[in-house]
Copies of this chain bind each other. A is one copy, B any other.
Amino acid sequence: MNVLIIYAHLEPKSFNGALKDLAVSELTSLGHQVKVSDLYAMNFKAVADQDDFDTIQDENFFKYQIEQGNAAKTNSFSDDIQVEQEKLRWADFVIFQFPLWWYSVPAILKGWFDRVFASGFVYGKDIGRYDKGGLKGRKAMLSTTTGSPEYAYTPYGMDGDIHEKILYHINHGMLYFAGLEPVEPFIAWTPARDEENRQRYLSEYRSRLHRLSEIPSIPYHPTSHYDNNHQLKVEYR
């Protein structure tokens, strides 16, 4: 498979760095093709603005999504965006490696979604959403590290259910919306506080990388399960 790793950590010696390095070496040795977008090393521009386009359609009233749609048609995204979109076209599987900051992705990775997951590329007039999204046919996995222990993220935990309340806006709202098929995330709980568990996490992650194509997908509903008012049909509730 062609595997793309989107990596968002500023310290190469971090546990996120170790997980990224492990993925590169293991997947390469298994015969996969691997590309890495090391967002910090690339000094990736996080903030969406006018500079994301070679030409601006309406300079008097700048509408980011409209300009994205135009850029998709006229091939006029800035080079850094085009390069990332090319990598996504190439990929069969995308891994997002990041620390969970404020119950979401770090700003540099949010900016990657804001800018690269463009209207006209992953969704838009002639493209569907979710199972019909522009990146359909590809899988994706979040690999993240937390600052709170696992028990805080249970359904009655203080921080909120990790799957239903915290990662939903990423797995469902970003990955699945764009057409990617999200598989179960890999979560290393508080690795910074737990030296002893780091080796265990690396070993677990290695096993997971060996069965990349068999990781269960998150069972989100296809768009056909919703009615014309975007409500889940009664038979699927």
Cβ of A29 under 8 Å from chain B: no
Q: Which of A19-27, A42-50, A198-206 contacts B (4 or more CB under 8 A)?
A: A42-50
Cβ-defined contact, B169 with A104, below 8 A: yes
Known: A46-B47, A168-B165, A169-B165. A159 touches B230 (CB 8 A): yes
Cβ-defined contact, B104 with A107, below 8 A: no
Shortest CB distance A116–B (Å): 11
Cβ of A64 under 8 Å from chain B: yes
Copies of this protein in the assembly total 2
- Residues on B with C-beta less than 8 A from A147 are 65
Cβ-defined contact, B102 with A114, below 8 A: yes
Q: How far is the CA of A159 from the CA of B10 in the complex (A)?
A: 32
Cβ of A173 under 8 Å from chain B: yes
Q: How far is the CA of A174 from the CA of B114 in the complex (A)?
A: 20
Q: Which of A69-77, A150-158, A211-219 contacts B (4 or more CB under 8 A)?
A: A150-158
Shortest CB distance A99–B (Å): 9
Which of A10, A48, A169 is the most central at the interface, judged by chain B CB atoms within 10 Å of its CB? A169
Question: Which of B61, B64, B107 meets A13, CB within 8 Å?
Answer: B61
Cβ-defined contact, A156 with B237, below 8 A: yes
Question: Which of B152, B169, B230 meets A103, CB within 8 Å?
Answer: B169
Closest to A106 in B: B114
Cβ-defined contact, B130 with A231, below 8 A: no
- Residues on B with C-beta less than 8 A from A80 are none
Question: Which of B63, B151, B177, B230 meets A11, CB within 8 Å?
Answer: B63
Cβ-defined contact, A113 with B108, below 8 A: no
Cβ-defined contact, A160 with B172, below 8 A: yes
- Residues on B with C-beta less than 8 A from A83 are none
Considering only residues 1-32 of chain A, those with a C-beta below 8 Å from chain B are 10-11, 13-14
- Residues on B with C-beta less than 8 A from A90 are none
Question: Which A residues fall within an 8 A CB radius of B?
Answer: 10-11, 13-14, 40, 46-50, 61-65, 101-108, 110-111, 113-114, 117, 130, 147-149, 151-152, 154, 156-160, 164-166, 168-169, 172-174, 177, 192, 223, 226, 229-232, 237
